[in-house]
């Protein structure tokens, strides 16, 4: 780790609390306390005395423990790490942290959901925040993005309207952490600019499998500025090393009950296990002279630049390798701001970005109780701070000297930076025009890019999108809102609108509207992005019962764990099961406490005394059926193949006495006795790496 990262650790060290084991309990003033279970009172049954300063301090501090949660992105998880560039980006930007591959810049990243409060579940259908704070040598730079590359509105003046609409209904504060209600879809049906982001929201992108398997985007078009003052438009992309993977809707709903902290736990556990999440930072670069070379406006936050037109150029990687020590002090109090930029990175006239540059700071002032939140350890820059700002709530710096400029009593310090190009300077862009409230005509195409997204989806992705629209609009009580939304979808794709209408009981769109676009781009499809990456941290469930062949389990476990997979033994009850050789095998979890939605693959080992797990066990059969129906890899050995046979998967070949290893549509079987062969394990590994098999036939057992 670089010296800058060490400095950040040292900076945090100075704010850490005393070791609880280093001495007796004290008050906030350091006075030792010998009793904290009873208030000071006038006699054993008398009134509590106001002079009990320990009681008053303890209760007062408790009463004020909570700060206002974020209006949006309230529920989140964070981690520390580092960023390092692949090579110098001096051709495009003078930002110091993008110059030297040998320099690691410390970062803090916060992932979040948008709609729900802090107590909502992780796996709701929602946008995910992906905010990165770079502690650079030139000051803090915040890349405040989402896992969608587009937003719902074009101008920030509409942000209060959008958030009010997507938040719970005002009369009953329902639903929590969900968009399936009248006010959101009323807004959508009247604001076609929302449709592109809505298409992303209805896709599986809105329910990521893991933060570690989620893309991130800067959303807006920003500007790089190099040492010569030349500007280049830039869009930021984070690409996860593990591939891009998502849940499906019924999985996400069950996760909310089985483990509402599914994504937060996954991030924390992976880092604790040393499986550090990694993303590659890429940029799309557009020369200033090509600003108007597209059939959309670069300043429109509801549009993407297709990668076929401007490829994503990798420029560095980010690794998260340390969990926070205290959720409140770090993850809850971290304050991001789109206007926190460093020399070499600047803004454009995107009206949504311009609004965010005001709103973030304004929000932090009330949420964190005043202007000194940048002094909190998680927010404090590594770069030196020399300002004339003073006082205010929670001022923790003891200032000396003068507090104004210009001055002579302080020797003119702190003085302006020199003219050697180190100071931040705004890009010299000519701006003129009449003062008006009017949207540019170049922002008016609201249907082409939603159609581009739809056209880019695989068939199974399209099916999931239709199902999502039917679920969401099926929760809308006002029929007129349902119909208006279908009319809007007809402008995107007539087939999409027709399928949605048939599911929600409204009239199908009349006539065959011409598709808004016939273009497509593979970069938008999960089928293209998932790939066959590493299986590190993939969770594999092994279903056991008495009589299991422990050697079979061990042979698979050894090879999968060597590749970084996590295997858990599940059985009808906790404790142990009896193996075929009379030993006991430890069970990690009892089947009634988990579900297949919490795992990425299933192994069914065999045994000479039966078919583990027995087909009579409803929990076991439900588990296997769920994994199969969700397209997850299922492997079976020996008599374990009988479980799959009982489910009667049509059109899927299973191993028989005439076959050794059969791999078909993510179902890997081998009826041979004894330990698992290398061929079997490799087929299972390949299936896990592929993640899902969506074209499987149904099961009937």
Calculate mean pLDDT across residues 609-632.
Answer: 80
Task: For 545-585, write each residue's pLDDT tens digit.
Answer: 998 999 999 999 999 999 999 999 999 999 999 998 899 99
Q: What does the block give as tokens for 566?
A: 């996590």
Q: How would residue 614 be classed by pLDDT, with cut points 50, 70 and 90?
A: low
Is 73 catalytic? The answer is yes
Tell which wins on pLDDT, 385 or 78. Answer: 78
Question: How many CA atoms lie less than 13 Å away from 434 in the CB half-sphere?
Answer: 5
Q: How far apart (Å, rounded) are the C-alpha atoms in residues 579 and 554?
A: 12
Contacts of 444 (CB under 8 A, 6+ apart): none
Please give the pLDDT value at position 197. 98
Q: From the candidates 146, 263, 340, 372, give the one annotated as an active-site residue.
A: 146
Q: Which CATH class is domain 75-169+210-375?
A: mainly beta
Tens of pLDDT along 140-187?
999 999 999 999 999 999 999 999 999 999 999 999 999 999 999 999
Measure the CA–CA gap between 623 and 157, rounded to whole angstroms: 48
Evaluate if residue 55 carries a pLDDT over 90. no
Q: Which residues, 6 or more positions from 55, have their beta carbon under 8 angstroms from its beta carbon?
A: 39, 40, 48
Name the burial class of residue 235, with classes exposed (0-12), middle (13-18) and buried (19+) by CB atoms within 10 angstroms of its CB.
Answer: buried
**What is the location of CATH 2.40.180.10 in the chain?**
75-169+210-375
- Structure confidence at residue 381 as a pLDDT band (50, 70, 90): very high
pLDDT tier at 517, thresholds 50, 70, 90: confident
**Stretch (H or E) spanning 81:** strand 75-85
Classified as helix, coil or strand, 675 is: coil
Residue 544 parent element (H or E): none
Examine the pLDDT at 422 and tell me if it is beyond 90. Answer: no
Percent of all residues in the chain with a pLDDT value above 70, rounded to a whole number: 97
Per the prediction, the chain carries an average pLDDT of 92
The arithmetic mean of pLDDT across residues 507-536, rounded, is: 86
Q: Is 369 helix (H, G, I), strand (E, B) or coil?
A: coil
Choose which CATH entry (3.30.70.260, 3.40.50.880, 3.40.50.2300, 3.20.190.10) describes domain 535-690: 3.40.50.880
CATH class in words for 3-63: few secondary structures
Give the pLDDT score at 658: 67
Q: How confident is the model at residue 699 (pLDDT cuts 50, 70, 90)?
A: confident
Dump pLDDT digits (tens) for 180-236.
999 999 999 999 999 999 999 999 999 999 999 999 999 999 999 999 999 999 999
Q: Give residue 2's pLDDT band: very low, low, confident or very high (50, 70, 90).
A: low
Least confident range from 101-110, 256-265, 378-387: namely: 378-387
Angle at 395 between CA 391 and CA 397, to 5 degrees: 100
State residue 701's pLDDT score.
63
C-alpha 430/C-alpha 428 separation (Å) is: 7
pLDDT at 433: 87
Range name among 349-353, 373-377, 429-433 with the lowest pLDDT average: 429-433
Mean pLDDT of 121-137: 97
* Residue 610: φ, ψ to 5°: 165, -170
Does residue 656 surpass a pLDDT of 90? no
CA 492/CA 518 separation, integer angstroms:
10
pLDDT for the residue 3: 67
Ranges for all domains in the chain classified under CATH 1.20.1370.20: 454-528
Whether the pLDDT of residue 14 is over 80: the answer is no
Give CATH 3.40.50.880 domain extents, the chain.
535-690
Catalytic: which of 73, 237, 245, 337?
Answer: 73
Q: Which of 286, 193, 274, 178 is nearest to 236 (CA)?
A: 286
Per-residue pLDDT band for 513 (boundaries 50, 70, 90) equals low
Instruction: Annotate 431-500 with DSSP letters as a single string.
Output: ----------GGG---SHHHHHHHHHS-HHHHHHHHHHHHHHHHT---HHHHHHHHHHHHHH-HHHHHHH
Residue range 451-471: average pLDDT?
97
- Three-class SS string for 171-235? CCCCCCCCCCCHHHHHHHHHCHHHHHHHHHHHCHHHCECCHHHCCEECCCCEEEECCCCCEEEEE
Q: Is residue 675 over pLDDT 90?
A: no
Q: How far is CA 290 from the centre of its chain?
A: 32
Residue range 454-528 forms a domain whose CATH class is: mainly alpha
The pTM assigned to this predicted structure is 0.94
Q: Are 224 and 234 in contact (CB under 8 A)?
A: yes
The predicted model gives 108-137 an average pLDDT of 97
pLDDT of res. 88 = 98
**Distance from C-alpha of 63 to C-alpha of 65, rounded to nearest angstrom:** 6
Q: Would the pLDDT of 611 be above 60?
A: no
Grade residue 617 by pLDDT with cuts at 50, 70 and 90: confident
Residue ranges, comma separated, of all CATH 4.10.91.20 domains in the chain are 3-63
In this predicted structure, the answer to whether residue 362 has a pLDDT above a threshold of 70 is yes
């Amino acid at each position: 780790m670089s010296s800058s990262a060490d400095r950040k650790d040292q900076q945090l060290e100075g704010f850490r609390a005393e070791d609880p084991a280093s001495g007796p309990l004290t008050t906030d003033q350091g006075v030792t306390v010998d009793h904290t279970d009873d208030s000071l009172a006038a006699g054993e049954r008398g009134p509590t005395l106001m002079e009990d300063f320990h009681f008053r301090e303890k209760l007062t501090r408790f009463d004020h423990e909570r700060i206002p949660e974020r209006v949006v992105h309230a529920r989140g998880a964070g981690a520390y790490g580092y960023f390092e560039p692949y090579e110098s980006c001096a051709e495009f930007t003078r930002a110091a942290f993008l110059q030297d591959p040998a320099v690691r810049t410390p970062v803090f990243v916060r992932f979040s959901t948008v709609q729900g409060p802090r107590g909502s579940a992780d796996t709701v259908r929602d946008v995910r925040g992906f905010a990165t704070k770079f502690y650079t040598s030139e000051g803090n730079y915040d890349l405040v993005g989402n896992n969608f590359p587009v937003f719902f509105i074009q101008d920030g003046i509409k942000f209060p309207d959008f958030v009010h609409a997507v938040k719970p209904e005002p009369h009953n504060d329902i639903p929590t952490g969900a968009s399936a209600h009248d006010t959101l879809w009323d807004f959508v049906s009247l604001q076609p600019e929302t449709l592109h982001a809505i298409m992303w929201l209805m896709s599986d992108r809105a329910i990521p499998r893991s933060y570690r398997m989620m893309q991130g985007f800067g959303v807006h078009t920003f500007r790089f500025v190099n040492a010569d003052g030349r500007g280049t438009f830039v869009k930021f992309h984070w690409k996860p090393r593990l591939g891009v993977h998502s849940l499906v809707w019924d999985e996400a709903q069950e996760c909310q009950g089985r483990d509402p902290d599914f994504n937060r736990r996954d991030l924390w556990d992976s880092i604790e296990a040393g499986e550090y999440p990694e993303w590659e930072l890429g940029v799309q670069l557009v020369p200033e002279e090509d600003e108007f070379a597209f059939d959309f406006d670069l300043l429109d936050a509801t549009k993407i630049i297709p990668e076929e037109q401007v490829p994503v150029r990798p420029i560095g990687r980010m690794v998260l390798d340390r969990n926070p020590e205290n959720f409140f002090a770090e993850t809850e109090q971290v304050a991001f701001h789109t206007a926190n930029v460093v020399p070499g990175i600047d803004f454009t006239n995107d009206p949504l970005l311009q609004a965010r540059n005001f709103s973030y700071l304004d929000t932090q002032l009330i949420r964190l109780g005043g202007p000194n939140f940048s002094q909190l350890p998680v927010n404090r820059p590594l770069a030196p701070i020399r300002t004339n700002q003073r006082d205010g709530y929670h001022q923790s710096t003891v200032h000396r000297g003068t507090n104004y400029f210009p001055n002579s009593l302080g020797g003119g310090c702190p003085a302006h930076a020199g003219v050697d190009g180190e100071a931040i300077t705004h890009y010299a862009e000519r701006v003129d025009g009449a003062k008006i409230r009017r949207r540019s005509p170049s922002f008016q195409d609201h249907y082409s890019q939603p159609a581009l997204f739809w056209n880019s989806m695989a068939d199974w992705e399209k099916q999931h999108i239709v199902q999502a629209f039917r679920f969401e609009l099926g929760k809308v009580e006002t029929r007129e809102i349902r119909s208006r939304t279908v009319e809007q979808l007809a402008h995107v794709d007539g087939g999409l609108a027709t399928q949605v209408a048939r599911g929600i009981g409204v009239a199908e769109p009349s006539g065959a509207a011409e598709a808004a676009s016939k273009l497509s781009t593979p970069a938008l499809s999960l089928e293209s992005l998932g790939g066959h990456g590493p299986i590190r941290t993939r969770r594999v469930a092994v279903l056991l019962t008495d009589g299991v062949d422990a050697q079979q389990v061990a042979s698979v476990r050894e090879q999968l764990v060597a590749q970084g997979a996590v295997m858990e033994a599940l059985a009808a009850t906790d404790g142990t099961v009896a193996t075929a050789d009379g030993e006991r095998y430890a069970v990690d979890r009892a089947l009634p406490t988990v579900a297949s939605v919490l795992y990425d693959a299933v192994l069914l080992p065999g045994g000479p005394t039966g078919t583990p797990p027995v087909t009579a066990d409803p929990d076991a059969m439900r588990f296997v059926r769920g994994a199969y129906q969700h397209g997850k890899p299922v492997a079976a050995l020996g008599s374990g193949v009988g479980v799959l046979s009982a489910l009667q998967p049509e059109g899927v070949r299973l191993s028989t006495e005439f076959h050794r290893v059969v791999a078909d549509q993510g179902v890997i079987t081998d009826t041979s006795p004894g330990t698992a062969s290398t061929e079997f394990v490799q087929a299972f590994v390949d299936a896990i790496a592929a993640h899902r098999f969506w074209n499987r036939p149904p099961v009937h057992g």
